[in-house]
Amino acid sequence: MIDVVDRIEYFAENAPDRVAFTSVDGQINYRQLWEASKDFAKKIESLRLEGKIDVKSPIAVYGHKEPQMIISFIGCALAGHPYCPLDRSMPDSRIEDILRAIGTRVWVKCENGEGKILELDPAQLDEPGDFSDDSNDVMYIIFTSGSTGKPKGVEVTKQNLGNFLEWMTGVGTPIEEKEGEVFLNQAPYSFDLSVMDTYTALASGATIASLDKGTMSNAASTMEFLKVQNVNYWISTPSFVDMMLAEKDFNSGKYPDIKVFFFCGERLTKTTASKLIKAFPHSKVINTYGPTESTVAISSVEIKNEHINEDDELPVGLIKPGTKVFLQREDGIIIDEFNQNIAEESRGREDVTPQKIDMGEILIEGNTVAKGYFKMPEKTAVAFDLIKLKNGEVHRMYHTGDLGYFKEGMLYCIGRTDLQVKVHGYRMEIGDIEANILLKENVEAVCVVPKRKDGKIRSLVAFVVAPSVSGSFDDAKDIKLHLKELLPEYMVPKKIKFIDKLPMTSNGKVDRKTLEGMA
Ligand code: AMP
């Protein structure tokens, strides 16, 4: 396992002037990162001595792409506190919910070149919880959308991160080749894809070139950023590269230094991969797969033309060492990659939709599977299941909710068993959006469905039953404004359609398929 904090210390001594992080908000080299992180850790430790925070209590770090974000993350790790990254694009009410749930009296706000430590009113906070005797040190807690309208905090330990980095630093190129190179950070820090670029870069002694929302909103300025920063390793969602592929100059002629494109977080389509291979014939295109609950990614594959020419969708790859993937079929049977039934008693899950034989829900076991959901023991017990194998051993496996199959040892991911969706790379629960629309007065019922093009979700449409309003453009706008106060902007459905009543299936459930057809 790789200890990223040790690695930063190592590069602070051996390559002190090398840039560790650069963005529109500033630049720091390895020595500055190390010194500033140690100073920050001291501040946190003194708050603990003053009795303002407890041992190992989590600390929220709010901001966007400031160097202080990274300094605060490493400072928290040095002081023995998990950090919880919160991006500025999240609405205040969501931030307040998370701060309350975390229950720690202080939080960090990064702005204007500073990481300010701010205090909260203890009366407004949930019970802080006692983490002092926890032997698994949590590195970070990343909140993801929860199906009932409350976000869940995934607790990733230092060991999880170390095991992920042990593998990831060698994917695409050996770790030695990554040293001194430039990694693109596109994802916000509240999305675990950022862990792939930021910590792989820091563990390899590379530079993080962090793209902020403002620059990203304009293709020309993004093109300029990539040129000026001389990016060598590209890490993004496929949706982001799609945006760049629309630019005629996005090719190896203009960007000869991009060696590897890493993708994760959503389906990589054949269209995107083949366009990219054409535009960058000398670069590697690597698809990786995994949920936040298993530390970013657990599989990888270099996509070549032969994959594009196969009948199947693109594979998500070979499973990394230290991890095992099993599939739980619709009948409850759990099989391994050789289609052998491995579990002694396999419990069926009602929500799995019927599938062909030898497909099933992807279950992940191994050294990057997270500790669980922060202060949610019931949800943790359901998602991180204990399964008894035929040989009597009990294994802890994470239920991804993804549907997949194996072919020649390679994993394929073909959809979901539930209502979690990815829109432009962002993970969200349809239930979360619906629960928040229902909070609006006059709304009696709602169903949110994806609108797809070429099999990929392009946007969301909300069908709303609200008999007391006329269903005008302004009524739709009102609902969107209401949602913007409660949810990140990317979760607000693009279209609101008013409907007299929701169609039902014969067994009395909302007929989502029919609504998808009407979206
Ligand atoms: P997140 O926790 O935000 O990283 O989202 C994890 C989910 O994203 C997975 O459970 C999958 O549904 C989806 N996902 C991640 N990587 C891929 C991939 N390469 N292909 C298809 N879906 C993916």
322-359 burial code (b ≥16 CB/10 A, e <16) = ebebbbbbbeebbbebeeeebbeebeebeebeebeeeb
| CATH 2.30.38.10 correct for 318-415 | yes
Nearest to residue 323, comparing CAs of 264, 236, 404, 411? 411
Residue nearest to atom 10 of ligand 1 (CA): 291
Amino acid identity, residue 499? I
Token pair for residue 192? 């675990």
The string of DSSP codes covering 354-384 is P--TT-EEEEEEETT---EETT-HHHHHHHE
Regarding the beta carbon of 264 and ligand 1, being less than 6 Å apart is answered yes
Residue 366 pairs in a beta bridge with: 323
* pLDDT confidence of residue 344: 63
Regarding the beta carbon of 262 and ligand 1, being less than 6 Å apart is answered no
What contacts 180, CB < 8 A, 6 or more positions away? 15, 18, 205, 206, 207
* pLDDT confidence of residue 345: 53
376-393 burial code (b ≥16 CB/10 A, e <16) = beebbeebbbebeeeeee
d(CA 247, CA 220): 9
How many A from CA of 8 to the centre of ligand 1?
29
CB contact at 8 A, 326 and 365: yes
d(CA 450, CA 463): 11
Q: Which CATH number fits domain 161-308: 1.20.1600.10, 1.10.10.10, 3.40.50.300, 3.40.50.12780?
A: 3.40.50.12780
What would the 3-class secondary structure string for 415-452 be?
EECCCEEEECCEEEEHHHHHHHHCCCCCCCEEEEEEEE
β-strands 233-236, 26-29: how paired? unpaired
Angle between helices 92-102 and 473-486 (to 10 degrees): 30
Angle in degrees, CA 79, 84, 87, rounded to 5: 130
d(CA 190, CA 287): 21
Nearest to residue 399, comparing CAs of 411, 414, 387? 387
For ligand 1, mutation pick of 289, 301, 419 (most atoms within 8 Å of CB): 289
Per-residue pLDDT in tens (0 to 9) along the chain, 519 residues: 999 999 999 999 999 999 999 999 999 999 999 999 999 999 999 999 999 999 999 999 999 999 999 999 999 999 999 999 999 999 999 999 999 999 999 999 999 889 999 999 999 899 888 888 777 799 999 999 988 888 999 999 999 999 999 999 999 999 999 999 999 999 999 999 999 999 999 999 999 999 999 999 999 999 999 999 999 999 999 989 989 999 999 999 999 999 999 999 999 999 999 999 999 999 999 999 999 999 999 999 999 999 999 988 999 999 999 999 999 988 888 988 887 777 765 444 444 444 445 889 999 999 999 999 999 999 999 999 999 888 888 999 999 999 999 998 899 999 898 999 999 999 999 999 999 999 999 999 899 999 998 778 999 999 999 999 999 999 999 999 999 999 999 999 999 999 999 998 776 778 899 999 999
Amino acid identity, residue 310? E
d(CA 165, CA 373): 22
d(CA 31, CA 20): 9
CB atoms near residue 116 (< 10 Å) = 13
d(CA 101, CA 127): 8
Provide the CA 43 distance to its chain's centre, in angstroms. 29
* pLDDT confidence of residue 346: 47
Regarding the beta carbon of 236 and ligand 1, being less than 6 Å apart is answered no
Residue nearest to atom 20 of ligand 1 (CA): 267
d(CA 422, CA 450): 10
CB contact at 8 A, 234 and 262: yes
Q: Tell which atom from ligand 1 comes closest to the C-alpha of 264.
A: 16
d(CA 249, CA 254): 6
Token pair for residue 332? 């409850």
Q: Which CATH superfamily is domain 424-518 in?
A: ANL, C-terminal domain (3.30.300.30)
Instruction: List the chain domain ranges.
Output: 12-17+24-157, 161-308, 318-415, 424-518
Angle in degrees, CA 463, 458, 327, rounded to 5: 95
Residue nearest to atom 9 of ligand 1 (CA): 291
Torsion on CA atoms 172, 416, 428, 127, rounded to nearest 10: -100
For ligand 1, mutation pick of 145, 164, 422, 426 (most atoms within 8 Å of CB): 422
Regarding the beta carbon of 316 and ligand 1, being less than 6 Å apart is answered yes
The string of DSSP codes covering 203-233 is HHT-EEEEPPHHHHTSHHHHHHHHHHHT-SE
How many A from CA of 224 to the centre of ligand 1?
29
* pLDDT confidence of residue 255: 97
| CATH 3.40.50.980 correct for 12-17+24-157 | yes
Q: Tell which atom from ligand 1 comes closest to the C-alpha of 420.
A: 12
For ligand 1, mutation pick of 189, 195, 427, 457 (most atoms within 8 Å of CB): 427
Residue nearest to atom 7 of ligand 1 (CA): 291
* pLDDT confidence of residue 349: 43
Residue nearest to atom 12 of ligand 1 (CA): 402
How many A from CA of 136 to the centre of ligand 1?
25
Q: Is the dihedral of CA 465, 467, 471, 475 positive or negative?
A: negative
Is-same-fold flag (12-17+24-157; 161-308)? yes
Regarding the beta carbon of 436 and ligand 1, being less than 6 Å apart is answered no
How many A from CA of 291 to the centre of ligand 1?
6
